[in-house]
Structure 1
Amino acid sequence: MFETALREWRNQRGMSQMALAMAAEVSPRHLSFLESARARPSSAMVLRLAEALDLPLRERNGLLVAAGFAPHYGDNDWLSPQMTELRQAAQLLLRAHGPYPAIVLDAAFDILEANGAAMALIGVEALPAVRLNLADLVFAPGDVRRSIVNWAEVAAYMMHRLREGVRRHGPGAPVARVLMRVRRHEGVEGLSLRPEGALGQVLLPLEFMVGGQATRWFTTVTSFGAPQDALAEEITIEQFHPA
């Protein structure tokens, strides 16, 4: 129901009714009526409130549907024809970043694309049909986790990114399930949010051991501007640079 969803998002954002009313430029009385189902919103009002709540496009669509309206933004699959242009742009960036690793991630940290250097780093020759998840690779026991020399620092940073994803997309989003999943792995419970070794650093390097040789990387994250599709907004390209 719209009123329940609106109230939950407002609480998650830590906003009072007065604060949200001011941000959305509506009267507190009208907002109170919307949250108590004594008034029904227009689609324009739903989008105004969603913007004031800083909701991602996927969650704005969800709020519209809860109010009885059709989604306003596209929500296409990565391999759909509608995403061809974005997919080609991402692949161009991956190729241009070679010989260094680069990967394309969705909001839940599933790996959608990777260049050859990235696949070599995670130990696969090609991406499998069932998508790999970057958080699972970092946290689950296996070759990737064992290869990360400064695992505690990297894992703490990844936990921060996962928590921020849940804050942004909500507790029902796929990223919340990923966070719940990785929390079960050994060594996660004792992670510090600010590992001692990272204090005073401007960039957190990723130290990786491959074939007995240590490499150091820092990463940059690229996203696409002015997206009108939920997935397009969520896509990030993570590029590894030699430190």
Structure 2
Amino acid sequence: MVGGMLKQWRRLRGMSQLDLALSAEVSSRHVSFLESGRARPSAEMVRRLAEALAMPLRERNGLLVAAGFAPVFGDNDWTSPQMAEIRRAAGIILGAHDPSPALVLDAAFNVLEANSGAMALLGAGAPAAPSLNLVDLVFCPGPVRDGLVNWDEVALYLMHRMREGVRIRGPQSPLGAVMQRALAQPGVSQLGLGAHTNQGLVLLPVVFNAGGVETRWFTTVTSFGAPQDALAEEITIEQFYPA
């Protein structure tokens, strides 16, 4: 099982067995033996290969478990005591940014927290919950999609971010399922997903119309440095600024 996972991630990274061997400082023959199941890796070897493959922390834990070892990185829920510091830091950022919108997102664009400005912009009318997903709000028919004046541009930009996320985290990740859900929505097939758009733009504006009032925003994405927890590594804070 671990051999198949190694092969899948190596191919996802566009690496040959020799590429991986050189990066992990092992022989290509050993990589071949590991992928075929003829050899079993040590925990240290799994960590070296995962590092060479630039695997996210959650996927590194999965590779260790597949090889018969315990995970080494935390994998805590957003509401767990272990995430209290991250929640507190995120709360400071969201509170300081109000009344401009700000959201805390996980890797699959689930909304973990949102300030009052974000909830007013989204029109959700209730505290953010894991069931609220930014991709679904933008791509699925509803008030948020209807309110996006430049929906085509925003959808293309968000699809680019999802594709990059799937490249990093793998097609079997929760983000992969979210992206497939977005691709199935009406109008997405006509977006020209393979085309280069917005050339020459430094910032992509988000133009939103709510109740006949049009507002323009640009966004920044913040992440936490040097995390040792899978969820902490995945979290981003999306802040909207008046354009």
Within a 5 Å distance, the mapping from 1:65-214 to structure 2 comes to 65-127=65-127, 129=129, 131-193=131-193, 198-214=198-214
* TM-score after normalising by structure 1: 0.97
Q: Percent identity?
A: 65
Amino acid at match of 1:44: E
Q: Check whether the contact 2:113–2:128 (CA below 8 A) recurs between aligned residues.
A: no
The residue type equivalent to 1:124 in the other structure is: A
**1:152 deviation in Å?**
0.3
Contact 1:156 1:195 in 2 (8 A): no
Unmatched segments (≥5 aa) in structure 1: none
TM-score computed with the length of structure 2 as normaliser: 0.97
Q: Which deviates further from its counterpart, 98-107 or 28-37?
A: 28-37
Structure 2 letter corresponding to 1:32: S
When the two structures are aligned, how many residues end up with a matched partner?
243
Is this contact kept in 1: 2:111–2:128, CA < 8 A? no
Match of 1:49 in 2: 49
Shift of 1:161: 1.0
Q: In the superposition, relative to structure 1, how do residues 15 and 196 fare at CA in structure 2: closer, same or farther (>3 Å)?
A: closer
Please say if residues 156 and 194 of structure 1, whose CA atoms lie closer than 8 Å, have aligned partners that are also in contact.
no
Q: Deviations over 1:146-177 (max 9, x none)?
A: 10000000001111111111111111110011
Paired position in structure 2 for 1:237: 237
SS of the residue corresponding to residue 185 of structure 2 reads: coil
Amino acid at match of 1:113: E
The alignment partner of 1:132 has SS state of coil
- The Cα shift of 1:38 comes to 1.4
The 1-side partners of 2:6 and 2:105 are apart by 28
Q: Residue in 2 aligned with 1:226?
A: 226
Residues 29 and 238 (structure 1), Cα distance of their counterparts in 2 relative to 1, 3 Å cut: same
| Partner residue, 2:36 | 36
Superposed structure 1 runs of 4+ greater than 3 Å apart: 193-197
Task: Mark the CA change 1:196 to 1:51 in structure 2 (over 3 Å): closer, same or farther.
Answer: closer
CA distance in 2 between counterparts of 1:29 and 1:130 reads: 45
Between 191-200 and 51-60, the greater mean CA deviation after superposition: 191-200
Where 1:59 maps in the other structure, the secondary structure is helix
Q: Is the 8 A contact 1:112 1:131 kept in 2?
A: no
* Matched-pair contact (CA < 8 Å) for 1:157–1:193: no
CA contact under 8 A between 1:75 and 1:231: conserved in structure 2? yes
Query: What secondary structure, in the 3-state scheme, does the structure 2 residue paired with 1:14 have?
Result: coil
Tell me by how many angstroms 1:128 deviates.
5.2
Q: Quick one: structure 1 residues 88 and 128, their matched pair in 2 at CA, closer, same or farther if it must change by over 3 Å?
A: closer
Matched residue type, 1:58: R
Q: Which residue does 2:216 correspond to in 1?
A: 216
Deviation of residue 191 (structure 1)? Answer: 1.0
